[in-house]
Amino acid sequence: MSAQAPSARPNPSSEAPALDAAVRASAHAPSVHGTRPWTVRHVGDRITVGTDPDRRLAVRDPDAREQVVSCGAALFTVLVTLRAHGVRPAVRELPDPDRPGLLAEVRSAGAAEPDARDRMLHESVGPRRTHRGPFPADVDDVRTVRALVSAAAAEGAVLRPLGDERLMRSLAGLVAAAEFLHRCERDTGEELARWVRAPGAADPDGVHAEDFPPPDRVADTLFPDRDYGRGRVRGLLDPHGDVAGTAALLTTSGDGRGDHLAAGRALQRVLLTAAAGGVSSAFHTQPLEEPHLRAFIGERLCDGAHPQMILRLGRGLDARPHRLFASVEDGG
Ligand SMILES: Cc1cc2nc3c(=O)[nH]c(=O)nc-3n(C[C@H](O)[C@H](O)[C@H](O)COP(=O)(O)O)c2cc1C
């Protein structure tokens, strides 16, 4: 299906269930440390997406860049869910200069037949999970990589796969530099501890023991994982495979709040496109939390653009069920 049917006028009462579904689906978006640092609300005829100041990482994300990227991922999830439910969204980003915490307002612009791509992306919202550790296999086909690059471009960002092994090793070294420094910092450790959950915890927030590898598996990989446990909680994830995958940087041309929001939308579009094609994504944003390293990466690896995310992409979908809901449609 390519062309959309002409829009019918908005009809708030018949569209309310779609708006509710979009709010519920947003809870599945990726977020730094699983903080879900947003407020996503259905108010009257619209959905508002804002920041939750109590969930910002004051130590590692003082400027709220990663928070807004996370909110952008939630915003894209709202938009794709509405489209998949036959509602064409009209978005106003940063609608009120006096309320910087209000990131977006989404209303219906009428009904529209969902296209196959929106349905496909929406179906990946629930199954998508963050990968950690090595992958079973590389993403070795050009078409998939091209589709991911186009997904980022559709949201106004650039996905830059690092094809050259030497550049990839250079980036991995910068990840390691930041990660090992962070492991020495008490305030970073305390902030992380607030978001790490013991085995079997029911809390939907945070990074759970089941989602990160044990200490002996986090240190010796090419791209060191964040040490979520820090000696307090033993990770239970047993990564299998032995390839690092394709490293990629997600960048924007500007570096304001609107750019961070766009980066988040692009991130979630890339991740859902990947998941729909059997590709998993791992993240290593530690050096982007260090201003000098972030500037260096922008200058030397991104042609002067602003790096917003560091990813690794590999084949083999993570089969861990999402702990939030059995399915996006079922709700909480
Ligand atoms: C801005 C941002 C930064 C992130 N940085 C990392 C990271 O450095 N290491 C990591 O393992 N996961 C990282 N993640 C992934 C989150 O930890 C993950 O999305 C969250 O725990 C929820 O789990 P899920 O993605 O499996 O639903 C990041 C996610 C976002 C949006």
- CA 237, CA 107: separation in Å to the nearest integer? 40
pLDDT in tens, the chain (332 residues): 344 444 578 887 789 999 999 999 999 999 999 999 999 999 999 999 999 999 999 999 999 999 999 999 999 999 999 999 999 999 999 999 999 999 999 999 999 999 999 999 999 999 999 999 999 999 988 999 999 999 999 999 999 999 999 999 999 999 999 999 999 999 999 999 999 999 999 999 999 999 999 887 766 678 999 999 998 999 999 888 889 999 999 999 999 999 999 999 999 999 999 999 999 999 999 999 999 999 999 999 999 999 999 999 999 877 665 554 433 444 43
CB neighbour list of residue 35: distance below 8 Å, 6 or more residues apart = 55, 56, 57, 67, 70, 195, 205, 206
Provide CATH code, domain 137-315.
3.40.109.10
Say whether pTM exceeds 0.85: yes
Please give all residues whose beta carbon lies within 6 A of any atom in ligand 1, as ranges: 30-34, 66, 69-70, 73, 129-130, 132, 207, 225-226, 283-286
The domain ranges of the chain are 12-123, 137-315
Which residue of 28, 31, 183 sits with most ligand 1 atoms within 8 Å of its CB, as the best mutation to test the pocket?
Answer: 31
The superfamily CATH assigns to domain 12-123 is NADH Oxidase (3.40.109.10)
Intrachain domains 12-123 and 137-315 with the same fold? yes
CA of 108 to the centre of ligand 1 (A): 30
Tokens of 141: 């086909």
CA of 30 to the centre of ligand 1 (A): 6
Q: Whose CA is nearest to atom 6 of ligand 1?
A: 283
Which residue of 26, 28, 32, 270 sits with most ligand 1 atoms within 8 Å of its CB, as the best mutation to test the pocket?
Answer: 32
Detail the DSSP E strand segments found in 98-244.
102-111, 137-138, 158-161, 196-197, 207-208
